[in-house]
Structure formats: C-alpha cells, structure tokens
Chain A
Amino acid sequence: MSTLAPLLTSRWGDPQSWTLAAYREAGGYQALAKAFEMEPAAVLNAVKDSGLRGRGGAGFPTGVKWSFLPPPDGGPRYLVVNADESEPGTCKDIPLMMADPHSLIEGVIITSYAIGCHHAFIYLRGEVVHVYRRLLHAVSEARAAGLLGDGVMGTDFKLELTVHAGAGAYICGEETALLDSLEGRRGQPRLKPPFPAVAGLYARPTVVNNVESIASVPWIVANGADWWKSMGTEKSTGVAIYSLSGHVKRPGQYEAPLGITMRRLLELAGGIRDGHELKFWMPGGSSTPMFTAEQLDVPLDYDSVAAAGSMLGTRALQCFDDTVCVVRAVSRWMDFYAHESCGKCTPCREGTFWLRAVLRRIEAGQGKMDDLQILEDIPGSIVGRAFCPLGDGAPSSLTSSLKFFRDEYVQHIDQGRCPYDHTASYLFEAVAA
C-alpha cells in the first residue's frame, strides 16, 4: 500500500527551513554540484529519462519540453518558472516556496544549466506578498553565496534570477499569458504557434515550468532517473504533492508516489470530519471534473484519472461532505471563472458570465426547468471553442455536477430555495445572526 514519501516536503518542518544554512544543512545544493560535473545534455537526458511530468496541471513530460528548444544560436534563452498558483484548491507551490525556496532556486540553476539559460525568471502570483519577500530573500542569499550571478559555484556558468510578482490574474497561469505579463503587457494568452520553446519571452526560446516540476529536478539529478522511476507508476513516475482541503480532519500537503488512491490519502488525513460522509471531491482543482465516493480507488496518476473521466491537474483534492450544496459550490466556482476570465475570447468571456447568472438564480430559488438546458448546453459552447485551456476547464465542475447531482438542481428549482443549511458545512463556528 502506498504511503507517504516526503521529498520536496521533507524539509518543511526544519527550523528556519527557508534559510540557505538550513537548506545546506539538509543536503541542499549538492545536486547542483553534481550537475556541474555532468554535461548539460546529460542533465537534460536524466530528467527526460526520469519521466518527470509537469506538475502544473497538463502533465507534459518536462525533459521532452526542454528538448523542444532549438539548437543554441548565440542569443539568449530563458527559463520561466510558473509560480502563479491561482487555481481554487491548489496549494502546493506557495507552501513549497514559503518553506523551502532554495529547493526551487537549486532546481532553477540546474535547469538553466541543462538548457543553456543565463537569465531565469520566477513569475509569482501577486497576492502572496509573504512568499514574494521570502523568495527575494532566498535569491539574495543565493547570490551572496555565489550560487547566482557570474561564475555560479566557481564554475564559468552565469545565471541571473529575477523574481517577478504578477498583479493577481488567474489567466497569467497560462504560460503565454504569463510571458506577455512578464514582458509588461496585458496578460492574455498568445496565439500559438509559435510556441514558447521557439519564441517565448522576448520572442526567444523559452521553457516554462511549474514550481513543483523544477523543485523535483534536484532530486532526480542527485539520485538518478532510475531511482525516480522506481516510484509512482510506469507513465506517472516519481512522487508528487497532494493537497487535501475541505472537510477532512487533517488538511494539508501529502507527498506520495503518483498512483496513490484518494481512499489512502483520506486515511492519512484522518478521514472526513466526524459524523459526515464524503459527498464529492475534486481530483485536480476546480477546473477538473468532480468525483464522488465511487472513484475513491482510482489511482491518482495522470492516466488513471483521465480514464476515470477527470484530470489529475494539480492534485488539489478538495473534499466536500454531505452538508455541501453542490449548486452552491459550483456557483462559487463559476463566480471565480467569470471574474477571472481574461475576456480575450468570446466563449469563455460570455459563457462563464451566462452560467454564473443562471447558477446564481437557481441557487437563489429563482430557477426554471429551462435553465437546466442552458447549464447542459453552454459548457459545450465553451469547451473546445475557447482560446486557451483555462476556458476549457471553466465549466468542468458544472458539467460533472450535473452528471452526479442533477436532482439537486431540480430540487432547487422545484422548491424555489436551496434545500441545504449552509451553516452546517462551515468549518468554523457559525455566528448567530
């Protein structure tokens, strides 16, 4: 039975874990020393061989992504770390950067070395100022220690690392919108091709990777691709952070080999709160179709989750017990997508606006049976029509909720009110009105 395998999270509990001293104490920057003894191509191959798949949601093999860069032409090429963690339910990169920023920096240096980048960027979600400060501090520590700048660790490798705080837009988690934002433009996704590997930041070859992907790189370099592949499943290798939230007894980040089941994770997290049962859960954040107790034994790897009709996404496992009104939950998510739609393409901009209005009405007891047709049809007008994947993900929770809980929508419409007591779902004491 799978159990926890803390690697990326292993240092989080150390005293002053965010400092360079503590990171070194725990063995940090040794993978970097090892990487510098290897040819850059060998580092790239190690990551490719490890089968590491992107931890930002799409699950594209990281090493393969790096290999898409065209051969060096003497001009700059960039590594951009996507730290714009904004998906509702996703909470792994922010704690990682908070507790262990040097693991990300080490990953950045190794990756830059592997792909021939001399200026890397971390694009951070703008709201998390505390993380921004911590990253800035870690970078200045690393620079003072000769880990960044000219001659990294006494080699002739040069690397600048810029930490950039975004302005708080979900769309900037989409890699091309992130690049536009980083260039100082309005954050909206770019037309592809050209892909970032060919013309990314400042129209130069660019690799964009998630925080957790990059933070995994030192582990792979230090211990080898085979070691990494010994964990997880054949096609979803290694370990990953599972973030449990909601009505579980011990919410938090659980790092385990890919392929662990939700049943096992729930055990580790102490189960659903007393006196209640799991009603539904989101396997990969609010952009992925929801699961119910029926899918508790689906292995949480990329392919098994896809086969079961959802997506592993960012492993943001939000758990909702039997006190939760699914219409209310979906309505809140739709608020988020309507609010965060960048507005570039018609389907996402107009579709989420329409769905939000209908959902709010149904929740308020003003729904009509005709509305169900709208809720069933409009997601189809968004998915596969939108400009970027964020639009495609926006109606996932709605569509899956209709699959599992259509009756609940009908109840709202028939009764002209929400049949649930919302205060029962609170995780805090309800204040009497």
Chain B
Amino acid sequence: MSAEDLVTCSIDGIEIAVPKNTLIIRAAEEAGVMIPRFCDHPLLAPVAACRQCLVDVASPAGPEGKLRAFPKPQPACAMTVTPGMVVNTQLTSAAAKTAQEQVAELILINHPLDCPICDKGGECPLQNQAMSTGRSVSRFTEKKNTFPKPLALTAQILLDRERCVLCQRCTRFAAQIPGDPFIALQRRGVNQQIGRFDASVLGVAAVADEAADEAEGDVLAVDGTPFAGYFAGNIIQICPVGALTSAEYRFRARPFDLVSTATVAEHDSTCSAIRVDYRRGQVLRRLAGDDPELNQEWITDKDRFGFHWQTAPDRLRRPLVRRGDDLVEVSWPEGLAAAAEVLGSAKRAAVLPGGRLTLEDAHAYAVFARAVLKTDSIDFRARPSSPEEAQFLAHFAAGAGTGVSLNELAAAPAVLLVGFEAEDEGGIVYLRLREAGTTVYALAPFASRGLARLGGTLLPTLPGAEASALAKLSDAAGPVPEPGASAKGPTSADAVQTLTASAAAALAGGVIVLGERLATSPGAYSAAVAAAERLGAKLVWIPRRAGERAALEAGLLPGLAPGGRALGDLTEAETTMIFGGPLDLEPGLDLPGIVAAVRAGEIDTVLVGGLELVDLPVPPAAATALKGAKVVALQVRGEGISPWADVVLPVAPPQEKAGTFINWEGRLRPFPQVLTSTALSDGKVLQALAAKLGFTLGIGELATVHQVLDRLGPAGRRQPAPAVAPPEAPALGAGEALLSTWHQLVDDAAGLDGEPRLAASAPAPKARLNAATAQGVGARAGDDLQVSTAAGAVTLPVVIDDLPNGVVHLPTKSPGSWVRVALNAANGDVVRIAASSGAKEAQP
C-alpha cells in the first residue's frame, strides 16, 4: 500500500497510519485499543445503533487546520479516520468513558440476569463489556420488559427476545451476506424485536390467513415455514448476546467446559475453517473459523450443524466379519486376518475408495491398490462420471497445484458457471461471489434462487447440452456486447445472442467454473477447455465432495499416478519410491467398468471405502455386483455397504484423525485430530492390512506420505486434454422430458444424518418445469408431478419456473426425491413426466 493511501491519525496518543476509509474502531484495534461494541461487525456495514462505542473525536478544520472537537461523542464504528484526527477513547477521555458507561447501563436495564443458564455465559461480549464498562450494581428497579420465549426463527434457530440488545447483526448478516432477509426488526421502542412474519407478534390477525398461503416465488422449508437460506446458522455465532441459540446446542454446555480445536470442515470442497467445541470426548457444536482467504467468518449450515454423522448410532467400533447371513463383531486381529484372507485370495481386485478422503488416506488407497492388490481398477468417483471427465481431471486438475483461488475467483471480471450451482454445490463460493459483487453468468436450465441473488445472468441451456452452449459462447467472442438481461433470462433468440456475445466479451480474463454434473454432459469438458482458450478465460473445477481433489492428486483413477502423472510415465525410481517396487498392471477400469466387470465375474474382489451405494449412478446394479463379489469395506458407519461386505473394518471419521484435505483451489487444508480416539484412519488400516499380506508400506504415516509426495514434486507434463464431440440433442417423445438435477446443499446427505432440525429447515423439494411443459401433461402449480423411468418414479409438487420447454428439474437426493435410486437417472437423461393421479384431492 502506497503512502498516499494511508491516513495518519492519533488514537489515545498513539500515532497510527491506516488505509483510507478505515473506521475509527478498526484503527483503534490496529493501535491495540479495544473499544467496546455490539452492533459493529467487521464484515457488515456499520449501523451505529447500539451507541456502545462512543469516543471523543477532534479533527483539524479551517485554513489553519486547528483541531476542532466534535461537540458530542461519536460512534467509532461508523466514522472513518481522517488525516490528523485525534481520537480519545474510554482510556484517555473521561467524556468517552462516561458516555460508554451510560450506554452500558441502558443496554443492561432490560437484559435478564440469566447468565447462569445462558448458552452465551462465559463467551459473551455483553457479559465482558458489562464487566469492563457497566455498573457493578444496577440502579434499575422497574419491571423488565419480557417476551414469551423462545421464538423459533427456523427449526434450528431459536430467539430469546428479552436477551436481544437489538444490534441488528443478525438482520444485517441475513440481508447483506447471503441475501436471505428472512428476519427483520418489528414493532418499535422497547417493544422492538427481531422476528419473521408472525401475525400474533405483529398484531395483524386479519391478514394472517392470506399470508399463510404460499406467495408465488416463495420458497418454503420442509417444515412449511419460509426457507431461511443455507447460512442462517451464522447469526447464532455473531449474536453478541445469548439471544440467538441453536436448538441443537441450547442448554447443553457451558463455554468454559468446552475444548476448542481449529480444524477444517469435511462437507464440501472449499474445506472451510471451522472450530470444533467438545466436552468429555463429545462434540457439542461447530463454529465458523476465521480464514480471510476462504470462508472469512461464515460457514454453511451443513458445515455448522452436520457433525452427528460421525457419532451416529450405526458408527462402527469393531471389525465385522460375515458368518453366514450375519455380520459379527470380532477383534481387530481377527478382522484384519479375515480381510487379509479375502484380499490375499483375490484373483482380480478393484478399489472404490469414495470421494471423501484426505490426501494421506487417498495415497494409501492408491499405493495399496497397485502394490498390494496389483490392480489399476480404481475410481474415487462415487457418482455419475465419464471417461471424458477422468481425462479432463488428469489433464487439468491433478498435480496442477493451486490454480484459481477463491479470492481470485471473487475478484475476476466475470465468472461463468457451467454445470455448477454456486449456492447448492459451492456454499461459500456463492457467499464470496455475492459479497464481491462479481459479474456472474450461468449455463443452466433456469435461473436458480442462488443465481438470482448473485445478480447473475442466465444463458439458458438444456441439461446435457453444455458442450454446444460453450461452443456457441466461444464463437460469439468478438462482437461488441449489449447490456445483459436480468437473471430471469431472455425471451427472444436475439436476446440470447446478444447475451451470449456480452458474456463472451466479459469472460476475457474471467473464470469458467465447471461442476460435477458435467460428467454426464458429453463433450462439456472438451468444449470448456477449448472455450477457455478462445475466450482468454481461466478454468476451475469445483467438485462437491471434500476428498475429490486429494483423490486426484493421489492418483485414484485408472492410469493415474500421484502428482498428475500417468502411471506409465513414472521412472523406475519413482515407481519404487511410491509403490515400494516395480509395477506390472493390466489397464484399469473406472467405476462403470468395475461394476460391469464384477457382474460379469471378471473381478471377484472389491475393496470399498466410505461411499453410499445410493449415490452411484445405478445403485441396484452396484448392489447386485457387490453382492456377488468378495467385499472388504473400510467404513465409519455400518449402513450402506455393510450388507454386501464380507469384512468391514471401522475407520476414523475426520474429527478422530489428523489429515489433509485438498480443497478445489488445490490448497492443502491440514487439520488436527480433534478427539482422542482409538479409531484408525483408512491409511493406518491399509498399512496394517498390507503388513498382514507381507508388504511394508509407509502409507499410514502422515510424514512419510508427504515425504513421498514432496520428493515427487509436480508433474513435468500435463496429460492430454479430452476431445469429445457434443452429442445430438435427444429427441423427446410425448410425455418425455430432459432431467435437470443437482444436490441441494441441505438434503438427505449421509453427512447430515442425525440432524432433524436442519433437515426441517431445508427447502422443500419441488419438481420445476415451465408452464407449457406442465400444461402438456395436464399439471398445474401445486399439483403432484410423477417423474419416472423404467426403474421407478419420483412424485413431487409442481413449481412453475422459467425452464426451457421439455425440461424437468428435481433435487438429486432430497426427501422423496432420491433420483439415483428411484430413477437410476442422471442430469441430462430422458425421463417420463405425468400429472399424478389426483392423490391430493382424494384425501379428505
């Protein structure tokens, strides 16, 4: 920062130079002076409502620059420093000290003295500032203002209004950060309160019935209340008093009994910084950590509330071995011996390690598969995938180091989202794009709620037709763009063309984001590589799962070695260093290939990591296959694979092991072991298995793994890019539609098991299609729509939205909408749609 961008001022006699437009309260922090505050939050716009931060200010005025004092103390949270400004805080000004004490007294008069039973007690800014700035004995002898308590803001978030000091951090967060203004100030004076629309609070009984009806465009949560967004939990954390509590954590613990560990969240590929608080070996809550490069001070509700899966009732503690129809608990030596026997007698093996691994565990699978099981049939993708995707990932992502960072993405002149739903599939990516006000374009079938709140522009694209849309976009590079349309999307062909041209122009120097569902959009990755080159844009691949990037780096795809090398390109020395000796492997198979080979009896043994069969493209096929094979599963929990497994070895969930995720940026996200535990990581178990089978592999030790990877360094040359031609658009018959689908951020994910309140606050699943398509099958808004394939059907209420003709959108794994299980279908597949036969009307 150059000198002219700095402002020198004095705070309590300390000269300090800070960037222009710095607020007094921030400058004071720089100078080591803590001014008490409630409404101030560094990531929210100032409001100056609580008046706790009043300080004395004087600034030079007039031609001679004589210091002129403001007649009244000024709010430090709302005033920026100016050159030569002299600030005296409570430390050096009696007037400021008095003003702060007066405000503290008033803040406390209506605050209940219930600290001993308050969640916030012990970590409460109000408590702290009452000690530093308040009176030791209250002079207030009147009756305090009270409210019925608590008020449920969502199924998960409860509000005790009498504790609230009305600082508006929560309402400002909701409006400014995620753009989910689900709460607001209501009523006034001492009856002012935070709330949602509530006829009984607002005294508007006459319109209550009307309001209860779902207004058009309103999104309701599963429990029937208006959807509050995926980030609402942050308001609990930033509440400076105990007014906002989580139904989950409320009254469960005292902050001073908790042990806090800074770690990394496992639910998405951003790998946000979090803090885990536990007591006596039990995790009680998770909070956002502070990482200015990534999640700043916010996390998704999934990262915040979704931790019970790690201690779910079906959590495995001891190995299981199949005895007839039953899986029987056995000791570790027995379990290892059984697993070693299965794996050791394999004729031809395959490995399905799943997409949630740390780099260390992924490396262990990569080495174990090749060195011990002598197989290259390994695929981390427990979801729909394609060979084109594998080739693209090997070409673009594996071993490429840090590409576009989240900060760079947010600062990009324009971002094009292709097959990627920033809010549902990116979480924090959405927040950061919104905060930065980045220009966003999306190739998608419709403008989602997230895209609308990003102020993004939709380039309407049929699911599966991303490749041709990208090609069109590349072709449009050059012409002068016209102003873009709104997120509602253009209507005429001309408008589409104009829009495409303006997007193409904007993307020079911009970023194209590729998401998971492009794996079922033939040619999309090939077209993206070409488009990025022609438009002068950078590419970034943002998977959903936290472990996918690490799996790539470790080489959990057929033919792929660590660091983005082809297995065949490794030197003998490298091969020995990684795998402990030379390899002589047949070409490996990917997930569909493995499933087919197992069904055909060509593969007889499968080593499975942490994955859900229901997430695989055709779950019944995988189930049948595994049933016919010998299966060793390394699992945190018993459900899922266990019914087909011959041996199940329990492994540690993230909070019980140390490791390193690699986020979508390519950034290492190491995390420590939070809880003391005897559970073993996948790597340790594989190391023990290898030992049982006579191999000495250093794959269970973090240091050894990193030593290998560091010595290996990045790949010298990239794998070739894919070149798959876009397919013909499928012809739709009567009653047929193209399926658009992606995962909602909060859905029936295994990682959210045991969190019913969060599940209740998720958006209610709906089938989306446009009016013409709905009319074509005789369905109206609110009717049930049956979406079916030969495999089965999903029935959901209809929402009319601005989709292309002949497209229906379903959430992938939400209540009543498990697309993979029910339809065996993926994004872009053809499905049948029909109005459901009036089941609703039939009910009394």
| A interface with B by C-beta (< 8 Å) | 169, 171, 186, 188, 191, 338-347, 349-354, 357-358, 361, 370, 373-374, 378, 380-381, 384-387
Contact = CB atoms under 8 A, between A and B. Distances in A.
B107 to A, nearest CB: 5
B189 A338 contact: yes
Contacts of B73: 384-385
B188 interface: yes
A350 B99 contact: no
Given A343-B185, A353-B110, 10 more contacts: A338-B189, A345-B49, A346-B106, A347-B51, A350-B110, A352-B190, A373-B139, A381-B106, A385-B51, A385-B102
Nearest to A185: B184
Contacts of B66: none
B251 interface: no
B111 to A, nearest CB: 10
Given A344-B49, A384-B99, A387-B48, A350 B106 contact: yes
A346 B165 contact: yes
Contact of B189 (A186, A352, A358, A374): A352
A385 B54 contact: yes
Contacts of A361: 142
B121 interface: no
Contacts of A339: 189
B46 A346 contact: no
Given A343-B189, A344-B49, A384-B72, A349 B166 contact: yes
B181 to A, nearest CB: 11
B103 interface: yes
Contacts of B46: 191
B105 A381 contact: yes
Interface in B168-193: 184-185, 187-192
Interface in B136-185: 139-140, 142-143, 145, 165-166, 184-185
B78 interface: yes
Interface of B: 46-52, 54, 71-73, 78, 99, 102-103, 105-107, 109-110, 139-140, 142-143, 145, 165-166, 184-185, 187-192
Contact of B190 (A350, A358, A385): A350
In the A-B complex, list the 9 residue pairs whose CB atoms are closest, starting with the nearest.
A343-B192, A381-B102, A350-B106, A357-B142, A341-B189, A353-B190, A384-B72, A343-B188, A343-B189
A342 B189 contact: yes
Which of A169, A339, A344, A357 has most chain B Cβ within 10 Å? A344
Contacts of B184: 186
B102 A354 contact: no
A169 B50 CA distance: 21
Contacts of A373: 139
B189 A349 contact: yes
A384 B143 CA distance: 26
Given A191-B48, A346-B49, A354-B142, A169 B106 contact: no
Nearest to B102: A381
Contacts of B166: 343-344, 346, 349
A345 B107 contact: no
B103 A385 contact: yes
A347 B103 CA distance: 6
B224 to A, nearest CB: 26
5 contacts: A341-B188, A343-B187, A343-B189, A345-B51, A385-B51
A346 B188 contact: no
Contacts of B105: 381
Contacts of B139: 370, 373-374
A350 B138 CA distance: 14
Which of B46, B140, B189 has most chain A Cβ within 10 Å? B189
Nearest to B38: A346
A343 B47 CA distance: 13
A380 B102 contact: yes
Contacts of A350: 106-107, 109-110, 190
Contacts of A343: 166, 185, 187-192
Nearest to A358: B142
Nearest to B140: A354
Nearest to A169: B188
A339 B105 CA distance: 21
B189 A346 contact: no
Contacts of B106: 346-347, 350-351, 354, 378, 381
Contact of A349 (B47, B143, B192): B192
A341 B190 CA distance: 8
B591 to A, nearest CB: 53
Contact of A346 (B103, B140, B145, B185): B103
Contacts of B54: 385
A191 B47 contact: yes
B128 to A, nearest CB: 17
A325 B110 CA distance: 29
Contacts of A381: 102-103, 105-106
Nearest to B95: A384
Contacts of A354: 106, 109, 140, 142
A191 to B, nearest CB: 6
B78 A191 contact: yes
Nearest to B145: A353
Contacts of B185: 186, 188, 343
A341 B47 CA distance: 17
Contacts of A347: 51, 102-103, 106
Nearest to A374: B139
A354 B142 CA distance: 8
Contacts of B165: 346
Contacts of B190: 338, 341, 343, 349-350, 352-353
Nearest to B47: A191
A53 B78 CA distance: 30
A119 to B, nearest CB: 24
Contacts of B50: 345-346
Which of A338, A349, A370 has most chain B Cβ within 10 Å? A349
A352 B54 CA distance: 19
Contacts of B47: 191
Contacts of A191: 46-48, 78
A328 B54 CA distance: 33
A257 B269 CA distance: 74
A387 B189 contact: no
A277 to B, nearest CB: 35
A17 to B, nearest CB: 37
Contacts of A349: 166, 189-190, 192
Contacts of B109: 350, 353-354
A380 B99 CA distance: 9
Nearest to B99: A385
A381 B110 CA distance: 15
A2 B369 CA distance: 105
A257 B49 CA distance: 40
Contacts of A351: 106
A370 B78 CA distance: 36
Nearest to B54: A385
Contacts of B103: 346-347, 381, 385
B189 to A, nearest CB: 4
B732 to A, nearest CB: 44
Which of B106, B107, B110 has most chain A Cβ within 10 Å? B106
Nearest to A339: B189
A171 B185 CA distance: 15
B254 to A, nearest CB: 28
A4 B182 CA distance: 56
Contact of B107 (A171, A346, A357): A346
Contacts of A338: 189-190
Nearest to A338: B189
Which of A344, A346, A370 has most chain B Cβ within 10 Å? A346
Contacts of A384: 71-73, 99
A374 B141 CA distance: 11
A169 B107 CA distance: 24
A281 to B, nearest CB: 28
Contacts of A344: 49, 166, 192
Contacts of B49: 344-346, 387
